[in-house]
């Protein structure tokens, strides 16, 4: 090999190296003297996640995002400027003199996105932004490691391991997931997953602020409306916190090698995917809604929806109730109007009692009251004393059950479940209850069983 040829190879190798380092940074940190420009990357220490500029789908707009670094299909889990895209490749992510992480383009003075935290002048030069192996971009004081801001407090459409959704009343902070607009636009979409803050907190999927699907409330072990959650506890560690100020849900796989993507999609589905290394693709682990009974309030107030009742109408009225609109119910197979108390009955001071319905997703608890530590007998006695109390159930199913959930008014979004439902005790009049106090009536589908 002649010297000229060797020189050409050396020059080519140098260009390749320059190109590589220009477009891939081994650093996981942004500092006052270390910026990230469009075409460069931050990579977390364990190389599990990367941060950089991207264009989604067919779009040419540029966004700053975080994605799985060890998955071949680029899957973005967080977007900084989701509603303020950049129309060229001039974007720069940097720490400004105030100590904030800011996004500029075309070298403009006003950022199009910022962490917007307040710092003293003495602290501003001590700030760094670091991408963790949990996909959390954290703005910290470098000397004390004090967290000033973190992307986990501003999720987009994705829930990944250790990220939480919920709210903190004391800090006036909430964590919700909100879908992208389209595959080409990560802007704020119309589907939202959140934990409700009224009554007994529940997991809800909303479409334009209207409930689409309800995962139910936490019963000490699971959210009843989340499909196969008892099975999921063998794969995932689920953490749920609930007190007067904080309500928060998070998860992490028991198998650390399992790559999981939990996302609210612009198609209106809440999906859990796991990565298949053999096929290099995402496999859907579960999804909601999957049947009509998953849609909120399919059978209206005081109706029970059974997704497995293929031969008959999926909707049945609760004991003591009848269809509000018989024509729609029987002729059109439309149960959305729900059910009302049968005419001429009294459930206040006339020998009324309760009928037990087994294996249900309990009704919407937005207006239910919770009493901790009560026995089931105390629940029944308290509900019976109050004529407005329409039903009760166990609050916490652990250790044989304790506490009480009580409903006052209509019962909505009840569903028959095949494997993880609870018992609901519904108030009925004396005639519906029967004359014998020794009989226990259990409604199962459309049949009354007497034991």
For residue range 370-419, list pLDDT tens digits in order: 999 999 999 999 999 999 999 999 999 999 999 999 999 999 999 999 88
Residue recorded with tokens 């829930």: 159
- Mark whether 360 and 439 lie in a shared domain: yes
- Mark whether 171 and 251 lie in a shared domain: yes
In a domain, 197, yes or no: yes
In a domain, 108, yes or no: yes
Instruction: Identify the CATH number of the domain in which residue 175 sits.
Output: 2.90.10
- Mark whether 183 and 98 lie in a shared domain: no
Residue recorded with tokens 């459930």: 347
Q: For residue 144, with 0-12 CB atoms within 10 Å meaning exposed, 13-18 middle and 19 or more buried, which class applies?
A: exposed
In a domain, 2, yes or no: no
In a domain, 12, yes or no: no
Is the distance from CB of 74 to CB of 57 less than 8 angstroms?
no
Question: Residues 6 or more apart from 79 whose CB is under 8 A from it?
Answer: 63, 64, 65, 156, 186
In a domain, 206, yes or no: yes
- Mark whether 132 and 163 lie in a shared domain: no
* Helix residue ranges, H only, 61-130: 121-124
- Mark whether 201 and 111 lie in a shared domain: no
- Mark whether 282 and 226 lie in a shared domain: yes
- Mark whether 230 and 118 lie in a shared domain: no
- Mark whether 436 and 325 lie in a shared domain: yes
- Mark whether 126 and 24 lie in a shared domain: yes
- Mark whether 269 and 233 lie in a shared domain: yes
Q: Do you find a cis peptide bond into 450, omega within 30 degrees of 0?
A: no
Integer Cα distance of 376 and 403 in angstroms? 7
Domain boundary (100, 117, 152) is at: 152
- Mark whether 141 and 25 lie in a shared domain: yes
CA angle 329, 450, 395 (to 5 degrees): 75
In a domain, 235, yes or no: yes
Is the distance from CB of 294 to CB of 300 less than 8 angstroms?
no
Structure tokens at 212: 């689409």
In a domain, 436, yes or no: yes
DSSP state of 292: G
In a domain, 301, yes or no: no
Integer Cα distance of 415 and 224 in angstroms? 10
In the sheet that 281-288 helps form, which strands lie side by side, from edge to edge? 158-159, 260-264, 270-276, 281-288
- Residue range of the domain that includes 160: 155-290
Work out the widest C-alpha separation in the chain, in whole angstroms.
108
Looking at residue 202, its pLDDT comes to 97
CA dihedral 393, 394, 397, 401 (to 10 degrees): -140
Looking at residue 372, its pLDDT comes to 95
Domain boundary (241, 258, 290) is at: 290
Instruction: Identify the CATH number of the domain in which residue 22 sits.
Output: 2.90.10.10
Q: For residue 191, with 0-12 CB atoms within 10 Å meaning exposed, 13-18 middle and 19 or more buried, which class applies?
A: buried
The series of mean pLDDT values per 10 residues for the chain, 451 residues long, is 44 39 68 95 97 97 97 96 97 94 88 91 81 97 93 97 96 96 98 96 96 96 91 91 95 93 97 94 94 96 92 92 96 95 93 95 96 96 96 96 96 93 96 57 36 30
- 91: number of Cβ within 10 Å: 24
Handedness of CA 119, 122, 125, 131 (dihedral sign): negative
Q: How many domains is the chain built from?
A: 3
Domain boundary (109, 127, 152) is at: 152
- Beta bridge partner(s), residue 21: none
Integer Cα distance of 23 and 333 in angstroms? 59
């Amino acid at each position: 090999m002649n010297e000229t040829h060797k020189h050409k190879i050396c020059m080519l190798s140098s260009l390749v190296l320059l190109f590589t380092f220009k477009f891939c940074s081994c650093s996981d940190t942004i500092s006052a003297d270390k910026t990230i420009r469009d075409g460069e990357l931050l990579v977390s220490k364990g190389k599990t996640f990367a941060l950089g500029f991207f264009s989604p789908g067919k779009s040419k707009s540029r966004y700053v995002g975080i994605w799985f670094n060890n998955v071949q299909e680029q899957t973005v889990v967080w977007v900084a400027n989701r509603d303020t895209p950049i129309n060229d490749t001039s974007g720069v992510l940097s720490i400004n003199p105030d100590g904030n992480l800011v996004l500029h383009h075309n070298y403009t003075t006003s950022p199009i996105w910022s962490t917007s935290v307040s710092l003293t002048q003495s602290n501003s030069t001590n700030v760094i932004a670091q991408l963790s192996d949990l996909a959390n971009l954290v703005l910290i004081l470098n000397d004390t490691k004090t967290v000033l801001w973190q992307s986990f407090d501003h999720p987009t459409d994705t829930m990944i391991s250790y990220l939480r959704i919920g709210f903190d009343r004391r800090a006036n902070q909430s964590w919700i997931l909100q879908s992208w607009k389209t595959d080409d636009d990560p802007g704020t979409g119309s589907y939202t997953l959140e934990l409700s803050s009224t009554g007994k907190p529940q997991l809800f999927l909303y479409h334009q602020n209207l409930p689409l699907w309800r995962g139910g409330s936490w019963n000490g072990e699971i959210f009843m409306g989340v499909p196969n959650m008892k099975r999921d506890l063998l794969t995932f560690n689920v953490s749920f916190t609930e007190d007067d100020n904080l309500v928060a849900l998070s998860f992490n796989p028991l198998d650390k090698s399992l790559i999981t993507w939990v996302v609210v999609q612009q198609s209106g589905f809440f999906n859990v995917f796991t990565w298949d290394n053999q096929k290099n693709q995402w496999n859907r682990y579960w999804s909601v809604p999957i049947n009509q009974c998953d849609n909120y309030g399919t059978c209206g107030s005081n109706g029970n929806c059974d997704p497995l009742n293929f031969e008959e109408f999926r909707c049945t009225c609760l004991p003591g109730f009848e269809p509000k609109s018989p024509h729609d119910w029987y002729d059109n197979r439309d149960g959305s109007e729900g059910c009302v108390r049968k005419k001429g009955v009294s459930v206040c001071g006339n020998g009324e009692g309760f009928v037990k319905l087994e294996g249900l997703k309990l009704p919407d608890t937005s207006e239910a009251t919770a009493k901790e530590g009560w026995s089931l007998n105390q629940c029944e006695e308290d509900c019976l004393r109050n004529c407005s109390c329409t039903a009760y159930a166990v609050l916490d199913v652990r250790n044989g059950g304790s506490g009480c959930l009580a409903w006052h008014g209509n019962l909505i979004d009840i569903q028959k479940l095949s494997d993880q439902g609870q018992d609901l005790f519904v108030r009925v009049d004396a005639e519906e209850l029967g004359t014998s106090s020794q009989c226990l009536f259990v409604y199962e589908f459309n049949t009354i069983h007497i034991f």
